[in-house]
Amino acid sequence: TRTTRPQRLLKAVQDRAIRGNPKSVISVIDHYCRNQEWAMNVGDEKGFILDSVVSELNPQTVLELGTYCGYSAVRIGRLLHSGARLLTLEFNPDYAAVAREVISWAGLENTVQLVEGASGDWIPRLREHFGIHTFDFIFLDHWKEGYLADIKLLEECRLLRKGTVLLADNVVCPGAPDYLEYVRKSPLYDSRYFKSHLEYTKAEDGLEKSVYLG
Ligand SMILES: C[S@@+](CC[C@H](N)C(=O)[O-])C[C@H]1O[C@@H](n2cnc3c(N)ncnc32)[C@H](O)[C@@H]1O
Ligand SMILES: O=C(c1ccccc1)c1ccc(O)c(O)c1[N+](=O)[O-]
Ligand SMILES: [Mg+2]
């Protein structure tokens, strides 16, 4: 039977990237997705903005919503200092299986923990299950219609603190209009748009960075 797109992306990583070298895993994936087949990773252009937000913040506890093949988990994980941890949620078991291999190939299995399941089910259980108090940084990149419900759930579960930074992908393409309206109008957030392009294309897209004011 035919392989899947994530399986073909994983094969490219295993064939071309240097084991234990996150930078080479990232560049192999970007080259593959730009030249062979497009995939919905945050990509190199928006990835550079993601890198600068993470590097400036130097977070200890990070949550990612939507792992897919693990590209952004490797992008974020490689920048975390010792003791810092990334928890990434993925509810598609086939994608999760590929992501585990990619994260392991990058040598980040001790920094990045993939949790299989839906964000709506897991967010209320993160504190008791992983002993997490609050998150320093959250990357939203799952289905766009889920962004608003999940930010409200994170508030309800008191997993945000003064200064928590939320970065949302695709606020223009495919778009998350209800999420954008909420973070831009709410007095709880200080929000800013970083204009960019949809990964590996010329279409406009961007990232919304929102600081929780508590
Ligand atoms: C755009 S992809 C993630 C890309 C990844 N962040 C990157 O940049 O490499 C979106 C992923 O979110 C997952 N997803 C969508 N809704 C979810 C939810 N409610 N809980 C967990 N995973 C979800 C999908 O299965 C898909 O793999
Ligand atoms: O929704 C899509 C999508 C829609 C249609 C076809 C392919 C992908 C998408 C496109 C770019 C993204 O960066 C992204 O995160 C997503 N996503 O699924 O979450
Ligand atoms: Mg995205």
Here the ipTM equals: 0.99
Nearest protein Cα to ligand 1, atom 22: 90
Q: Is 199 buried (19+), middle (13-18) or exposed (0-12) by CB count in 10 A?
A: buried
Nearest protein Cα to ligand 2, atom 5: 174
Is the distance from CB of 96 to CB of 4 less than 8 angstroms?
Answer: no
Considering only the C-alpha atoms of the chain, give the largest distance between any 2 of them, rounded to a whole number of Å: 52
DSSP code per residue over 27-42: HHHHHHHHHT----S-
pLDDT 10s digits, 11-67: 999 999 999 999 999 999 999 999 999 999 999 999 999 999 999 999 999 999 999
Q: What is the pLDDT of residue 184?
A: 98
DSSP code per residue over 51-72: HHHHHHH--SEEEEE--TTSHH
What residue type is 208 in one-letter code?
E
Can 144 be counted among the known catalytic residues?
A: yes
Query: Strand pairing of 137-140 and 165-168?
Result: parallel
Q: Distance between CA 75 and CA 26 in Å, rounded?
A: 7
What residue type is 144 in one-letter code?
K
Q: What is the pLDDT of residue 102?
A: 98
pLDDT 10s digits, 108-157: 999 999 999 999 999 999 999 999 999 999 999 999 999 999 999 999 99
Q: Distance between CA 109 and CA 74 in Å, rounded?
A: 10
Can 170 be counted among the known catalytic residues?
A: yes
Strands (E), 72-145: 85-90, 112-116, 137-140
pLDDT 10s digits, 56-103: 999 999 999 999 999 999 999 999 999 999 999 999 999 999 999 999
pTM, 2 dp? 0.98
Query: Which is the catalytic residue, given 144, 150, 205, 208?
Result: 144
Q: Distance between CA 66 and CA 144 in Å, rounded?
A: 10
Query: Which is the catalytic residue, given 44, 136, 199, 205?
Result: 199
Please provide the size of the chain in residues.
214
Cβ of 40 below 6 Å from ligand 2: yes
Please name every residue paired with 166 in a beta bridge, in sequence order, or none if there are none.
138, 210
Say which residues have a Cβ less than 8 Å from residue 128's Cβ, sequence separation at least 6: none
